[in-house]
Each structure stands twice: as structure tokens, then as C-alpha cells.
Structure 1
């Protein structure tokens, strides 16, 4: 094992879980998972990381082993960023390199937006860049011009009460519908971990809240077109993704002062499909 078993942190914002790996006194690297996963998604990438890094992998609110909180406002991505920051404060970590996949990539951007001096470098994987209004508009136009079948699960979860009514006792089917590879299968131990966590009471609703708050999140992001990320950045893209389509990469160079893009033959869950290749790019970029 690279990552530790889940540890618990009590912060002013709530009770959260996280895993650690690597060198305890090494350079902190904060890794944020997406939906429907947990901090365990970094286990296999971690096994290929270079020495000298200290990995801190939080479970975001409502997923993994972190608290299930009622109320959609807690799942606004700005609020989730504040959760992570409160955890890092509790761990006395002031500066760090930051990596996020899927919704974790959005939360990473919200952290970098709120506290840019704390983020030394930023890595984003298979998710939109929140200040890339031009590219994201092109995505919407592309999806509307064709089939939006791949996005059904987002609409499903946005319907009040539907996920809560239909997912319990079907967590294994639910998770396996999404967590699968293109060329390489995702490890069974990882899938079992996500199923276990999704069986924690309340998870269908708290997981759905990531999508139910998307409209309010988007209204904030629509004001960020003038923003530029100043820290060095890396985007690693699994180019077989059916949801985060290539148009998401359009114009991202205009959103950063220093951005590098690498593409991997993998689907959405590239860190588990191609962990050694993803870790290779991370080892080149992280310090």
C-alpha cells in the first residue's frame, strides 16, 4: 500500500477523512478526487511517484469517509475548497502543490483562486477550467449539436430525491456503470472501496449534490473570464473521455500564464487506468 488507511480530522468546518503517503517530511502534494470516487483513487499513481513527496489526499465532503452533510450549500465548489483549506490548516500545511481530478479539479481551482500564494503548482485532470468561458461555451455548442446521452447521470442526479430513492441497495451496479477503463481496467480493490463508501447512509444524496449545485457554481464562474492562473500548471488529459470531450482544452492556454498539456490514451479515470504514465508526468512537473 502507498496510502494510509483513512485518518480523521476535526476542523471548524466539520469532520473529514484523509489518507497520507510518501515521505512524512517531504514536499506537500494535495491530491483531490472526483465523483464517485474517494481519496483511494490516488493509490496506484502514488506507487510510482518519486521520493521526496508527501501526499495528502482528502475525502471531499459527502464522499469517501468524510461527513455526510445535509444542505446543498455545503456542496458549492467554493465551500468544498474551504473544507480542504481548513484541513490543511489543521495539518499546519501553509504551502503545497495541488492536484485535482474531475470535481476535485474544480475544487483545486477554487482553492487556487482563493489562496494563490499557498499553491506552488497546480495539476488538473479531465475537468473544465472554470475561467475558460470561450472553451466551455464551445463544449456546450458541441454537445447540443449532437447527442447528450453521455451526460444522463448528471440530469438524473439533479432531480430532487431521485438518487436517494433509486441508488440504495444498487451501489455496486451504480459505481460500476461509471468507474471503468478504456484500454485497462480499473483495479477491483478500488471499485470495492468506492462501493463501500457509497453504501454509507446518505451518500446518494450528498453525491448528487455535486451536480445539484452546478447551476449556482456556473453563475460564479461566468464572472471569471479575466482571471489568469499565475502558478505553473499542468493539464493531463485522458483523451478517450466521453464526457470531458477535447473541446474542453480549447483556449486553456489563455487562462494561464504557464500551462503544459499532456495527453494519455485513457478514459476519464486516467489516474487508475494508466497510473505509471500519469505518475511520470507528475514526477517531471512536481518538485
Structure 2
């Protein structure tokens, strides 16, 4: 949980036609850092990072992505296309009065951050990705049966109603990492409360339905423009869903990228090894 000495503010911001719940910490005039959570988390997925970043002088901005926790939950699969999610983040940055911000994304938050860097790089100061595949790398990885085996849940989520029914059980399984102390009991309870909010389970699963049915990550074979935003990739190599090879060869699409691997960390690298992750974030976002 967030250390008690960290003061944070909670409000709702309308962006791209959707009302997002946003938590903020740190000085209002500090350099903005947007932290984007993944599945099946919500803003509290960044609790180990909010305090250190805000105390270092950054204005930390942590939204619940659309469909999650206290944010609005539009109906229908089409509302969760990657392009739409990317516009949510660009709109949030502008709604808060900025032309650009540092963007840090994990899992689905990382997928959205990659899309933002590809389509609207002008809104990103520096980019940090944690265990989220670059779309071209993921397309390449899907040619390997081992990645399909790890991605079984993506196909499961295409079924009607059953994934929603199974979400609490799947969520508890998915959040397991290599650090037994990564999630406190009260944090797990808050996750289950977030999943149980009306419409949340369907909205969360619709991210995967939109990806498969409407196109997005892993589909299409066109040329991918290079990302020239300064980029840091942090990768936990004990990820049960994503092969460590997904972090190989990123220089092909992201010239100058820096990749830091965590051999003992799981998909939840920012919780398994928060001290090292925080030091790397502070160093990179400070321009060092």
C-alpha cells in the first residue's frame, strides 16, 4: 500500500468521451509522470512507485483505465480498441494542462504506451515499458508455439459470459509473482472489490476481445515506424504469460532502447523488485 506519509489526491477527469478516475501525488508543478496499470489491476498496482516518484518531485498521475475500478465502463467490445485506449491517455495528458508527459506502462498499460509512442510520440517525454510486448515483437513471437501456449487465456477470453464468471479466480492466480510479500491481504481484498464493481469484469475482458476481433496487437503485417522517444524496457524473465525473448531485438523498432532484465522477477516486476525498479525509474526519468 502507499506509505502513509505520501499525500495523494483523487478525482475524475473526462477525456476522449469517458470519465476516468485519477489518483495524483507530488507537486502540481513537478514534471508529469503517467503510470498505466495492466490487467487485472487498477491504479493501486503502482503503490510501490507513487511515493518514491512523488517525493523526488514528479507529479505522479495514475488513472484507472477505462472499464476498471472507479472509471467509467462503456458497453460493447468496440469501446476497448487499442486506438481508443491510446486516445484516452493522450486526452488525459492534455486535460491536465500538459503538451507531453513521461509515460510508464505495465502489461496492458504498456501496450497502450507502445501504441501512443507509435501514433502520437509528440505527447511523450520519456517512455518506460514493463513486461508488455512491442506489437511487432509480439507478432513475431506468435509464430512460435511456446508463445501460443502461454497466451491461452487470450483465446479463453473470447468466450461469452464464462470469462466474466471466472475472473475472480483467474485474477487471484494471475497476480501471483515471485515475491510472496508482493501483495498484502488488504490489497488483495481491494482488488476483488474492484473486480466486483458492476460492469467491470466484462469491460476488463473486452480489452482482449477487441484485440482479437477488431485488430490490434499481434495482427497486421505492415511496416512499423521506429520509436525515437527515449525508451527504457524493464522485463521480469519469470513471466508465465510472455516469453523473455519478447525483449530481444527491440533495437530493430526502437533505436537506442535500453533493456534491463530481472532474472528472478515475474510479470509483476514492479512489485517483485520495487527498490531496483524505482531506482531505474528515477534515474531514467531524471534524464540520467
- TM-score, structure 1 normalization: 0.89
Sort the Cα spacing of 1:56 and 1:240 in 2 relative to 1 into closer, same or farther, 3 A. same
Name which of structure 1's ranges 44-53 and 226-235 shifts more when overlaid on structure 2. 44-53
Q: Tell me if structure 1 keeps the 8 A contact 2:8–2:26.
A: no
Pick from 63, 69, 72: which aligns with 1:64?
69
The answer for the alignment partner of 2:127 in structure 1 is 122
Match of 1:185, SS state, is: coil
Separation of aligned partners in 1, 2:187 and 2:9: 13
**Structure 1 regions of 5+ residues with no counterpart?**
none
Name which of structure 1's ranges 206-215 and 180-189 shifts more when overlaid on structure 2. 180-189
The answer for the alignment partner of 2:13 in structure 1 is 9
The answer for the alignment partner of 2:191 in structure 1 is 194
CA shift digits 1:15-36 (9 cap, x unpaired)? 1111112222110011100000
The answer for the alignment partner of 1:206 in structure 2 is 203
Is it true that 1:30 corresponds to 2:28 in the alignment?
no
Separation of aligned partners in 2, 1:239 and 1:262: 10
Deviation at 1:195, TM superposition (A): 1.2
Separation of aligned partners in 2, 1:257 and 1:146: 25
Q: Tell me if structure 1 keeps the 8 A contact 2:251–2:257.
A: yes
Sort the Cα spacing of 1:175 and 1:146 in 2 relative to 1 into closer, same or farther, 3 A. closer
Deviation at 1:242, TM superposition (A): 1.4
The answer for the alignment partner of 2:104 in structure 1 is 99
The answer for the alignment partner of 1:86 in structure 2 is 91
Is it true that 1:41 corresponds to 2:41 in the alignment?
no
Separation of aligned partners in 1, 2:33 and 2:182: 23
Match of 2:134, SS state, is: coil
Is it true that 1:248 corresponds to 2:251 in the alignment?
no
Equivalenced residue count is: 278
- TM-score, structure 2 normalization: 0.89
CA shift digits 1:27-60 (9 cap, x unpaired)? 0011100000011111112233361211111111
Name which of structure 1's ranges 185-194 and 12-21 shifts more when overlaid on structure 2. 185-194
**Structure 2 regions of 5+ residues with no counterpart?**
none
Match of 2:61, SS state, is: strand
Sort the Cα spacing of 1:186 and 1:16 in 2 relative to 1 into closer, same or farther, 3 A. same
Sort the Cα spacing of 1:52 and 1:205 in 2 relative to 1 into closer, same or farther, 3 A. same
Q: Tell me if structure 1 keeps the 8 A contact 2:20–2:71.
A: yes
Separation of aligned partners in 2, 1:246 and 1:104: 18
